[in-house]
Chains A and B, each alone.
Chain A
Amino acid sequence: MPEIFIDNKRYEFEEPGKVLQFMLDNGLDLPFFCYHPSLSIPANCRQCMVKAGMPVYDREKGTFEIDENGERVIRFFPKLMTACSLDLADGMVVLTHHTDELVKQAQADNLEFILINHPLDCPICDQAGECPLQILTYKYGPEGSRFEHKKVHKPKAIQLGPRVILDAERCINCTRCVRFTDEISKTHQLTIISRGDKNYPMTAHGQIFDDPYSLNTVDICPVGALTSADFRFKARVWEMNQTPSIDISNGKGCSTWMWTRDNLVMRVTPRFNEAVNDHWMPDAGRLAYRRFNENRISKPQLRLDDAEQVRTSWNNAQLTLLEELEKISAGDILVIGSAHASVEDNYALRTFFSNKGVSEFRFLPHIIPGSGDGYLISDDQAPNTNGVRALGFQETDEKTLIKLIKSTKPKMIVILDDDLLGRTSLTPDHLSGAWTIVFGTNHDETTRTANLVVPVTTAAEHAASYVNVDGRIQRTVPAKETLYTNRRLNLEMSMGRLDHYGTKFDNWVTDANRVDCISAWEFFIRLEHDGDAPKWESSRQIMEEIAGLFSTFRQVSYDRMDEENGIQLKLEQDTEVKPA
């Protein structure tokens, strides 16, 4: 097998590749800025320089030349090479800063050079704490700068587009952002203008950077030159908790990180997942974080005799539902599942009501044809269409549903987290003949019309699974506490620095922003006066039960989903949902 010697240690490689990527794959360190594994390689930052050479081959003898110590004679390239663009070659010798003074010096000098005109405004820069320039300067840079002159000034706080702000002085002209729009989002909206120490990225004259994927440039910018208009100055990265999750704002289900502070989701960023979204995600999915924080339903709401809805206790909400169930026979109940809710919650809904004797379960896919782009934005607006379908909920379009309500006149309608009134032509009149119970996360038209509203957790607050448009099941991890969860006790939840070292009495810690809600499945097990209530302790356990019952979900478990970053299911029917 071909071999390469890095810092005098032998490594074998199978596939052709570049030295830098090979080193990263093998856990070796080398500083770099412009290289990105998913983009082309311009080798323009010059930070990844190494000393490289090849053994001298004696053609006549057909052997490698050997020196007096019995070692191969190495002929080094006359200058340092950029590892990001250097092809692996059999027998190649690479020396990095660990073994070569020249490389070490070159790395420090290059950083000094890059920093010459850099404003060094880290204390007020959003990137601080997650800035490759800052980190690499600590690790590889010089102590100080010898540059005593006035720095070059460039435009600051330029609104490049609705979501991205540019500080040209901080830019190191790595061209990652330009390559992203050229190679990944293909909008070609950015370029580097001017030259020398005056250059920085810009759009064409009079154009705005409104790429639907524009915020990815903020992630890959190795400095604070591009920042998010929304997240700017909101939080320091070290104050936040970082929890792995998935994007529930459309059907693709990009892997994400949810960043929380004080029980508010501050931002959402993509998490690498080769099978779904690589390093990227659409802007819309990031900005959808607001629904986790704002306009939440906290505490059950009950309508008494056509009056306004009033807040009520959980106990009362449970009793009210049980009372209604006493009065109404199973045949008069219409249960509508939701592609916006998780597999577990839909399953719990179904289980509870089939125990009651209900046999018809329906759901309305939420698809806007033509709104997707065939990449990471799908026509499907809901994260779990395939999941609900695989649980046996019958796919129904709005016309059929309205007809069904008119003809069968159900006495009770159960709606799981889905704003049917807001997004379809269903009106309050259609529901007026029935007693409606809605499980909802945010106030919307549907919850406002309900007789009983049960506040349920969002993807930011529960551990639950969703099946994306391609039939991949992935799960969320609770990122944000509810009134009933506790970061310190729930081992599933991540702890940030403030959680570890702060106490409830520190003035920078707040207990606010905890919503009074529970997962839908928890509501059903709390109906314990009722002998039919299922006995689950966690959503993990529900998934185990589902895996045992449904062939589609066979062998699905939380552990496997975590290890494999989601599991591809074999769906029985076409995954493409046909709109009516």
Chain B
Amino acid sequence: MADTYTFDAKDLAEIKKITDKYPEKQAAVLPVLWYAQDKFGHTDSSVQQLVAGTLGVPEAHIRGVVSFYTQYYENPMGRNVLDVCTCLSCQVCGGYDMLHYIEEKLGIKAGETTPDGEFSLQSVECLGACGYAPMLQVTNDKFVNHLTREKVDKLIDDLRAGKQPEFESNPMPQHEKGS
């Protein structure tokens, strides 16, 4: 595969900052993969090759790491990745309804990317936010909780306009003052 991805001098300086923190190069694999994914949007085989070459870590090992964590994208994804939880709590509270609504709205199935490269949709297992079910996560980052159709509509419009969702603080009932 052609080596179409490269790190420039600034990237290499950043990566050096990361590797300097660890006694061994192998320990820097995770943060450097994050850095690469931020830059290129995914960590496919050519990116894996680039990271392996940059760090001097075996390429097979990098592949093992990338494929272990679902948060690293082994294939190019849309600009926004919607991970809709369909695990037990969300499922009970309508996780699949939300998933199907989004599928219809974007005209793609879970696991696919819109032709304009704007959105990828995935159905994922528990993200540890059962208290705010149903929910989804946007591109390995913010959680959008207590999903409703309206909330989904707004989210997608915002994302199209380049606006990321805000962090929502959701205190659990037992933690609310005075209860």
Binding site for B on A (CB under 8 A): 181-182, 188-195, 202-207
Contact between B63 and A193 (Cβ–Cβ < 8 Å)? yes
Closest approach, in angstroms, between the C-beta of A99 and any C-beta of chain B? 39
Of the candidates A181, A195, A202, which one forms a contact with B63 in the assembled complex, judged by CB atoms under 8 Å apart? A202
Interface status of B45 (Cβ within 8 A of chain A):
yes
Contact between B61 and A191 (Cβ–Cβ < 8 Å)? yes
Q: How far is the CA of A415 from the CA of B61 in the complex (A)?
A: 51
Q: Mark B55-99, 1 if CB is under 8 A from A, else 0.
A: 000111111100110000000000000000000000000000000
Of the candidates B1, B45, B49, B64, which one forms a contact with A191 in the assembled complex, judged by CB atoms under 8 Å apart? B64
Closest approach, in angstroms, between the C-beta of A205 and any C-beta of chain B? 3
Interface status of B145 (Cβ within 8 A of chain A):
no
Contact between A204 and B68 (Cβ–Cβ < 8 Å)? no
Of the candidates A188, A194, A206, which one forms a contact with B67 in the assembled complex, judged by CB atoms under 8 Å apart? A194
Q: How far is the CA of A229 from the CA of B86 in the complex (A)?
A: 43
**Is chain A's interface secondary structure helix, strand, loop, or mixed overall?**
loop
Max chain B C-beta neighbours (<10 A), residue from A181, A189, A192, A203? A192
Closest approach, in angstroms, between the C-beta of A44 and any C-beta of chain B? 14
Binding site for A on B (CB under 8 A): 1, 45, 48-49, 52, 58-64, 67-68
Residues of chain A within 8 A (CB-CB) of B52 are 204
Contact between A193 and B61 (Cβ–Cβ < 8 Å)? no
**Is chain B's interface secondary structure helix, strand, loop, or mixed overall?**
helix
Contact between A204 and B48 (Cβ–Cβ < 8 Å)? yes
Closest to B69 in A: A195
Q: How far is the CA of A195 from the CA of B71 in the complex (A)?
A: 13
Residues of chain B within 8 A (CB-CB) of A195 are 67-68
Residues of chain A within 8 A (CB-CB) of B48 are 204-205
Residues of chain B within 8 A (CB-CB) of A202 are 60, 63-64
Q: How far is the CA of A181 from the CA of B59 in the complex (A)?
A: 13
A-B CB pair tally, cutoff 8 Å: 46
Q: How far is the CA of A196 from the CA of B159 in the complex (A)?
A: 33
Q: How far is the CA of A207 from the CA of B49 in the complex (A)?
A: 11
Task: Beyond A188-B60, A207-B59, list 18 extra A-B contacts (CB 8 Å).
Answer: A182-B58, A188-B58, A189-B60, A190-B60, A191-B60, A191-B64, A192-B64, A193-B63, A193-B64, A193-B68, A195-B67, A195-B68, A202-B60, A202-B64, A203-B60, A204-B59, A205-B45, A207-B60
Contact between B63 and A204 (Cβ–Cβ < 8 Å)? yes
Contact between B67 and A204 (Cβ–Cβ < 8 Å)? no
Q: How far is the CA of A206 from the CA of B45 in the complex (A)?
A: 8
Q: Which 4 A-B pairs have the closest CB atoms?
A: A191-B64, A205-B45, A188-B58, A204-B59
User: What are 17 residue pairs bridging A and B, where the CB atoms are less than 8 Å apart in the complex?
Assistant: A181-B60, A188-B58, A188-B61, A189-B60, A191-B60, A193-B63, A193-B67, A194-B67, A195-B67, A202-B64, A203-B60, A204-B45, A204-B58, A204-B59, A204-B60, A204-B62, A205-B45
Q: How far is the CA of A202 from the CA of B49 in the complex (A)?
A: 15
Closest approach, in angstroms, between the C-beta of B104 and any C-beta of chain A? 29
Residues of chain B within 8 A (CB-CB) of A191 are 58, 60-61, 63-64
Closest to B62 in A: A204
Residues of chain A within 8 A (CB-CB) of B62 are 204
Closest to B57 in A: A188
Of the candidates A182, A188, A194, A206, which one forms a contact with B68 in the assembled complex, judged by CB atoms under 8 Å apart? A194
Q: How far is the CA of A188 from the CA of B52 in the complex (A)?
A: 12
Residues of chain B within 8 A (CB-CB) of A192 are 64
Contact between B1 and A205 (Cβ–Cβ < 8 Å)? yes
Residues of chain A within 8 A (CB-CB) of B61 are 188, 191
Contact between A206 and B64 (Cβ–Cβ < 8 Å)? no
Q: How far is the CA of A204 from the CA of B45 in the complex (A)?
A: 8
Residues of chain B within 8 A (CB-CB) of A204 are 45, 48-49, 52, 58-60, 62-63
Contact between A206 and B58 (Cβ–Cβ < 8 Å)? no
Residues of chain B within 8 A (CB-CB) of A189 are 58, 60
Q: How far is the CA of A426 from the CA of B48 in the complex (A)?
A: 51
Q: How far is the CA of A188 from the CA of B63 in the complex (A)?
A: 12
Residues of chain B within 8 A (CB-CB) of A188 are 58, 60-61
Closest approach, in angstroms, between the C-beta of B153 and any C-beta of chain A? 35
Q: How far is the CA of A193 from the CA of B70 in the complex (A)?
A: 12
Q: How far is the CA of A182 from the CA of B57 in the complex (A)?
A: 11
Residues of chain A within 8 A (CB-CB) of B58 are 182, 188-189, 191, 204
Q: How far is the CA of A207 from the CA of B59 in the complex (A)?
A: 9
Q: How far is the CA of A182 from the CA of B59 in the complex (A)?
A: 12
Residues of chain B within 8 A (CB-CB) of A193 are 63-64, 67-68
Residues of chain A within 8 A (CB-CB) of B49 are 204-205
Q: How far is the CA of A549 from the CA of B49 in the complex (A)?
A: 61
Q: How far is the CA of A188 from the CA of B56 in the complex (A)?
A: 12
Q: How far is the CA of A189 from the CA of B45 in the complex (A)?
A: 15
Residues of chain A within 8 A (CB-CB) of B64 are 191-193, 202
Q: How far is the CA of A205 from the CA of B74 in the complex (A)?
A: 11
Closest approach, in angstroms, between the C-beta of A493 and any C-beta of chain B? 44
Closest approach, in angstroms, between the C-beta of A226 and any C-beta of chain B? 15
Residues of chain A within 8 A (CB-CB) of B68 are 193-195
Residues of chain B within 8 A (CB-CB) of A190 are 60
Closest approach, in angstroms, between the C-beta of B64 and any C-beta of chain A? 3
Closest to B63 in A: A204
Q: How far is the CA of A190 from the CA of B64 in the complex (A)?
A: 9
Q: How far is the CA of A572 from the CA of B20 in the complex (A)?
A: 53
Q: How far is the CA of A203 from the CA of B1 in the complex (A)?
A: 15
Closest to A194 in B: B67
Q: How far is the CA of A202 from the CA of B68 in the complex (A)?
A: 13
Q: How far is the CA of A206 from the CA of B62 in the complex (A)?
A: 13
Residues of chain B within 8 A (CB-CB) of A205 are 1, 45, 48-49, 59, 63
